[in-house]
Structure 1
Amino acid sequence: MRLSRGVPRLLGYCALAGLLVAGVVAPVALGAGVLSNQVADSVNGISAALVNSEQPLVTTVADRDGNPIATLYDQYRLPVTANQISPAMKAAIISIEDRRFYDEGGVDVKGMVRAALHDSSGGSTQGGSTITQQYVKNYLINVVDRNNRADQLADQADTIARKLREAKIAVQLGQTVSKDDILSGYLNVVEFTGNVYGVGAAAHAYFGTTPDKLTVPQAALLAGMVNNPSLYNPYTHPEQATQRRNVVIDAMVSTRTLTPADGAAAKAAPLGVLPDGPDVPSSTCLGSTPDAGFLCQYAESYLIQSGFTADQLETGGYLIRTTMDPLVSRAVKQAVEANVPTTQDGVANTFAVVRPGQNSHEVLAMVANRNYGTDPAKGETSTNIVAAPSNVFGAGSSFKIFTSAAALETGKAGLETLLPNQAGECFTQPGANQYTPQYCVENDGVNYPNPISLRDGLATSPNVAFVNLEQRVGMPAVLDMARRLGLRTSLNTNDAGAKPDPSSPNPQYSEPQSQYFQNKLSFTLGNSPVSPLEMANVSATLMSGGTWCQPDPILSVTDRNGHDVAVKQPPCEQVVPPGLANTLLNGLSQDTISGTSAAAAAAAGWHHADFGKTGTTQQSESVAFIGGVDDYAVSSMVFADGPHPAEICPGTPVHLGSCGRGAFGGTVAAPPYFAAMSQVLGGRPDTAIPAADPTYLRARS
């Protein structure tokens, strides 16, 4: 005799029911003993994982004051307790999914047998699973096995082995966990649509409310969605969602948790979802506020380098308080956008602010006229142009800081030393042979004295004097000084700002800058790719008495339970003596008074004691102002960032063009500094620039 298709399912359910009745903890035969023994060993371990493993939660990234700036997550979930869920929501889910929830154990044997009998008769299939079993299934799929597709498929397989395992875990949970906690656990773990998991996130996403305030129509819609989140999505399938919602409302009337009159009123109500689609926040730093995106991304990368995994950050439910100062960041953002609009074609204006210190260098702001995003038409970029060596044209004469520091350290020059400074001169490159052309340099202007003191040279920036000094000091010392003061990442990239490619026959691409520039005197004129953040940190190193610390974007990290989480960071280093650092700051203190940015400072009404060094590349594709005031170390860079780089021209706004002499660091990169820091400082008394150390006033060798 030929068996109907439903008979194997009936026999399987009966065998499973028999096993459960006989005792779940020690499975017996009933024709399925071998099957039971195959899964018995795994049940206890999975049950423990179900109770103890942590659900993926949303990590919040905040500024130093605790104001959220971004969220990181894999599953958008806002967990709630049983008493934070409205009675309507509880009644709706129980009415449609498991009417005997509060009376049964973890498994409803009667329901399973009834489902088997119904299915074997050829009617529509009935699952027969309790809310506890559904909790188990969803927990396994969405939490325990969320990163293993094969295991997720096994968690959903229509097999007796899977059902037996699921039922046994459900019984164990029913014996150890309260009904209210099982119900809230299920409502916290179940998927609605997309990345929305749990009733807390669903209430917010679909109705802009919290789960304790869900009304009957709202609760019924959500309860209906768990059966098939895609089919009953109110935005993509509103008719099906309405029909399903009304089925849930009818079930609530049937279970007498809702009167017929109230049920009719609820069914007559509109879906009531938010009009513009579910309100789900971005899951990455790309959704940050405009002045926070680059710092957020840097903070995320910093934590990964410190030992966190990306999965931990996306699922750990951490509160990451960054060092971002919202007042500083807003002021800087306003200043760069006033200088170069966000959508200005081909021109980027980056700005970084670092707080110096002996034990840490906190990053207070990382902004640009560009925003961190994926739409170039809106002036967005997905590259962290503040942290990365994104200014491939270089920071111009601001690199003379490294040559000066190396000269002070080696004794080749002091702050008052007179440097040869012809209008133009050709130099023999280090390591040159008979085929190596000389490196010829001219000063940009004719009014430079010859000779010129190092102090005056730092203010007025003659090229010839500094290339001459660099040659005397030697490239190894200059490059090592640049690394020590802060160019740790930049010097590890090649001359295109990328990771060196050993397979390239061209040293420009195969070698790191620390090697490539060993024989190139052009380094002091700043024609190599550089990180704007690292240049701000160079200033912070000098302002910290010669102490380098990695730019730190993390104030604190706490886990989902409010416990502090340690963040590993490299130790700070005393890279130059305090006397040298103070002397160099003193030498740089004339730039805004009588130097290359003095005219812009006067125009801005700038009157604070500060230090600075401007930079301009040869074709004006990049200009920079590197300096500091009070306890703020800064870097403002304006550079060509489009596919067709050209000369940067001053104006309102700054733009690409062909304007003769083009932009300068003092005329284009310094004004955002004056505008932003004037707002930040307000009427605060000035912090004096350190006095020069007599040791470093004159040459010693």
Structure 2
Amino acid sequence: MPAVFLARAKGLSKLLGLCLIAGVLVAAVLFPVAAGFGALSNQAAETVNNTSAEFEERIPATITTITDREDTPIAHLYHQNRVIVPSEAISEQMKAAIVAVEDHRFEDHDGVDWQATFRVALQNQMAGDVQAGGSTLTQQYVKNYLAFVVADGDPENPEYQAATETTIARKLREARIALDIEDRMTKDEILAGYLNVVPYGNEIYGVHQAADAYFDTTPGELNVAQSALLAAIVNQPSTLNPIRRPEQAIERRNLVIQLMADQGRFSEDGPEANQEIADEIKKEPLGVLNPLNQTSHGCVAARTGTVNGFFCSYVVSYLQERGFDLDDLKRGGYTIKTSLDPRAMELAKQAAENHVPKNADGIANVMAIVEPGTEAHKVRALVANRDYGLDSDQFQTTIDLPSYVTTFGAGSIYKVFTAAAALEGGYKINQSLDVPESYTSSVYGANGAPYTVRNAGGYPESMSFTEALATSPNTPFIPMQEAVGVPAVVDMASRLGLRRGMNEVNLSGTAIQPDSSDGRLNKSQGDAVSQGNQGSFTLGAGPTSVLELANVSATLVSGGMWCPPSPIEEIRDRNGDLVPIDEEPCERVVDEGLANSMAQAMSHDTTGSGTAANAASAAGWSRPMVGKTGTTQNYVSAAFTGATPHLAGANMVFGDSSRPLPLCNGTPPVQCGGGNMYGGHVPARTWFQAMTPLHEGLPDTPLPAADPRYS
């Protein structure tokens, strides 16, 4: 028959079908046999157009993949475990299998198989109920799309219930939308759409993830036996679970294979040839992976284990803070390429665990690595001796140890902020400072009590500004802070990198509570310190973020350019198009000459009598770098931050139990009564163990010269 007549025949068939739909709607109201279905039928008629619009607008939820800088996946986020693939990426065997078992007249109808519809309508009429289906693949596509895309697969969603209920109303709606879809999509597009949307059991959606999970292959490589099994599973995902019910699954798979043979899908040489091929294929085992190759979900179940969880968690938080909706991230099918350097992660993790074992009682050893620059500060590693996870018995945690603001301080590292503010106020890096054994401030104190600080250990009576940063006596920095004022030092800390620590966290180490009845909680740490004129700020007792400490060092070796510590290289949507991200721009926070002068002033901590000299020497370190150690007064925490022009990093060791105790240096370190843990111990040793191999092959770049204005 000429094509024009076939087209006219199909058009007439569709017209008759539309009349049938209208007629059934009327009949459902007028005739008692349809009693009980009339209201639903009318509702279906009223909502068909709205549902069709939703069908076009809603996009199936797909997996978001988070990768490292080398494009290797480290984690996945998803609402439904699905990856959309085009028709050409699906094997012909898979398409043939699903058509054979679900709708062998798929190529011949226009979305509704009117033969089957009339037959089923008669059966239902005789039964006085809706008992049989007769849905085409297009109608099934509609049903699954409404249930698992529009209604999110939520059985409590009214749209899900409407899409799955056994009523004439549902059938009519499916038929109407199916006819519309066949006008807009090709048969191949409909078939691919169906295979991409439907569930395959075990929380797997779509043929791509089914092929990967059950057979560790791609949809384009699925053979006949594999395709037949997946086509079988779609019918009843729970009942035909091949892991729990292999006999039922193989029986249904073989039925699909037989249907393919009966329909001549294996050979053009006739029924015998088709049957012979089918019999051979039926002999194949299920071949299903056990356990299934399930795609991990979230940062806890990062595909590469528990190492990357801290970084993944920071990525998610970072994006949410910049306007990304978490639900959209789980549905959008994004590819988020992060700045994670797998080698830096590996070396930092090894170093953290080497100096504080992951099972150390109540002691966390945390490290962050940032790459300096004037246009970006990319985060390369976030690790801890603990693993990221939910099993506390295995020493795991989901607290973002490397990036959150801990309740513990970084000790004398905060002298860096006092020193930088002092340079800005007129001090010089080579000027001589008095170093008395103790110093009582006339500016600081509470309730009339004087504020006195003492040095730990013997120091000469005077030393240069640079020597003071390297050897870290306490007494020179209190009068230095008096000269410039606490607010100026707090402001310098925020400018150089302690943004969240100064501006978003209170003195208890938690986020500011604007609506709290406690006035103290209404103040950020920076405001509380400044307004309270707290002289102890320069000794670093307040809450600190290890990542922000690393970024402070990155700012100093970047000529005073602060950039947000970004974990993002780029984001692409499901179509491969770049997605913009609203990150803070880099900004000059101190004069370049001041930053360079501070870098020179901090370059002696790893040499001579510097507090990190022993750790640097033991690691064979000889490169020029900035560095500063810190220890809190009661030894519950200690830290080290340092940088070269290539990489900046910070380490912090602190008590992570519910009742932290002072820390004692040792192999391994332990909680103890008195405490003797310094920043030059575990923190500096961890830093140098990770950073020494990371710098292999990099040029031995000198630090910039000090500016004469600050010398």
Please report the TM-score for the alignment, with normalisation by the length of structure 1: 0.90
**How many Å separate the matches in 2 of 1:147 and 1:90?**
24
Distance 1:436 1:18, change over 3 A: farther
Instruction: Find 1:386's aligned residue among 362, 382, 402.
Output: 402
How many Å apart are 1:385 and its aligned residue?
Answer: 1.1
Moved more, 297-306 or 122-131: 122-131
Residues 418 and 453 in structure 1, CA contact (< 8 A), matched pair in contact too:
yes
Q: Deviations over 1:227-259 (max 9, x none)?
A: 221222222333433343344334334434364
**How many Å separate the matches in 1 of 2:276 and 2:659?**
69
Q: How does 1:39-58 map to 2 (within 5 A)?
A: 39=44, 42-51=47-56, 53-58=58-63
Match of 1:463, SS state, is: coil
Moved more, 321-330 or 133-142: 321-330
Match of 2:544, SS state, is: coil
Counterpart of 1:178 in structure 2 is 186
Match of 1:281, SS state, is: coil
Residues 553 and 626 in structure 2, CA contact (< 8 A), matched pair in contact too:
no
Counterpart of 1:295 in structure 2 is 311
Residues 353 and 363 in structure 1, CA contact (< 8 A), matched pair in contact too:
yes
Instruction: Find 1:646's aligned residue among 661, 673, 677.
Output: 661
How many Å apart are 1:573 and its aligned residue?
Answer: 2.1
Moved more, 489-498 or 680-689: 680-689
How many Å apart are 1:193 and its aligned residue?
Answer: 1.8
How many Å apart are 1:661 and its aligned residue?
Answer: 5.0
Residues 228 and 257 in structure 2, CA contact (< 8 A), matched pair in contact too:
yes
Counterpart of 1:65 in structure 2 is 70
Counterpart of 2:555 in structure 1 is 541
Q: Which runs of 5+ in 1 are unaligned?
A: 1-15
1:637 lines up with 2:652 in the alignment: yes
How many Å apart are 1:521 and its aligned residue?
Answer: 1.4
**How many Å separate the matches in 2 of 1:131 and 1:167?**
11
Q: How does 1:99-498 map to 2 (within 5 A)?
A: 99-119=104-124, 125-146=131-152, 149-257=157-265, 259-284=274-299, 286-289=301-304, 290-390=306-406, 392-411=407-426, 413-428=427-442, 430=444, 435-446=447-458, 448-491=459-502, 492-498=504-510
Distance 1:96 1:495, change over 3 A: same
How many Å apart are 1:278 and its aligned residue?
Answer: 4.5
1:685 lines up with 2:685 in the alignment: no
> What letter is aligned with 2:591?
P
**How many Å separate the matches in 2 of 1:39 and 1:85?**
34
Q: Deviations over 1:27-84 (max 9, x none)?
A: 9845569977755564345435434643222222112222222222211112233333
Instruction: Find 1:603's aligned residue among 600, 608, 618.
Output: 618
Residues 299 and 309 in structure 2, CA contact (< 8 A), matched pair in contact too:
no
Residue correspondences, number? 676
Q: Deviations over 1:532-585 (max 9, x none)?
A: 111111111112221211111111111222211111111222211111111111
> What letter is aligned with 1:60?
T
How many Å apart are 1:223 and its aligned residue?
Answer: 1.4
**How many Å separate the matches in 2 of 1:125 and 1:161?**
14
Q: Deviations over 1:297-338 (max 9, x none)?
A: 222222222222112221222221112223322222222222
Moved more, 32-41 or 522-531: 32-41
How many Å apart are 1:156 and its aligned residue?
Answer: 1.8
**How many Å separate the matches in 2 of 1:502 and 1:214?**
58
Counterpart of 2:270 in structure 1 is none
> What letter is aligned with 2:510?
A
How many Å apart are 1:588 and its aligned residue?
Answer: 0.4
1:85 lines up with 2:72 in the alignment: no
Q: Which runs of 5+ in 2 are unaligned?
A: 1-12, 31-37, 267-273
Residues 347 and 690 in structure 2, CA contact (< 8 A), matched pair in contact too:
yes
How many Å apart are 1:121 and its aligned residue?
Answer: 5.3
1:621 lines up with 2:619 in the alignment: no
Counterpart of 1:670 in structure 2 is 684
> What letter is aligned with 1:640?
G
1:20 lines up with 2:17 in the alignment: yes
**How many Å separate the matches in 1 of 2:53 and 2:106?**
22
> What letter is aligned with 2:245?
H
Residues 208 and 279 in structure 1, CA contact (< 8 A), matched pair in contact too:
no
Considering only aligned residues, what root-mean-square deviation do their CA atoms show, in Å?
A: 2.8
**How many Å separate the matches in 1 of 2:173 and 2:515?**
54
**How many Å separate the matches in 2 of 1:632 and 1:369?**
21
**How many Å separate the matches in 1 of 2:153 and 2:122?**
36
Match of 1:151, SS state, is: helix
**How many Å separate the matches in 1 of 2:234 and 2:569?**
40
How many Å apart are 1:359 and its aligned residue?
Answer: 2.2
Residues 496 and 589 in structure 2, CA contact (< 8 A), matched pair in contact too:
yes
How many Å apart are 1:469 and its aligned residue?
Answer: 1.9
> What letter is aligned with 2:499?
R
How many Å apart are 1:194 and its aligned residue?
Answer: 3.9
How many Å apart are 1:114 and its aligned residue?
Answer: 2.1
Counterpart of 2:7 in structure 1 is none
How many Å apart are 1:503 and its aligned residue?
Answer: 6.8
> What letter is aligned with 2:140?
Q
Moved more, 87-96 or 592-601: 87-96
Match of 2:292, SS state, is: coil
Distance 1:445 1:273, change over 3 A: same
**How many Å separate the matches in 1 of 2:646 and 2:583?**
22
Residues 17 and 113 in structure 1, CA contact (< 8 A), matched pair in contact too:
no
> What letter is aligned with 1:139?
Y
Moved more, 401-410 or 260-269: 260-269
Distance 1:504 1:144, change over 3 A: closer
**How many Å separate the matches in 1 of 2:23 and 2:117?**
20
**How many Å separate the matches in 1 of 2:442 and 2:22?**
86
Distance 1:213 1:691, change over 3 A: closer
**How many Å separate the matches in 1 of 2:575 and 2:263?**
38
> What letter is aligned with 2:385?
N
**How many Å separate the matches in 1 of 2:548 and 2:298?**
28
How many Å apart are 1:127 and its aligned residue?
Answer: 1.2
Q: Deviations over 1:328-384 (max 9, x none)?
A: 222222222222223322221211111222222111222222222222223322121
Counterpart of 1:586 in structure 2 is 600
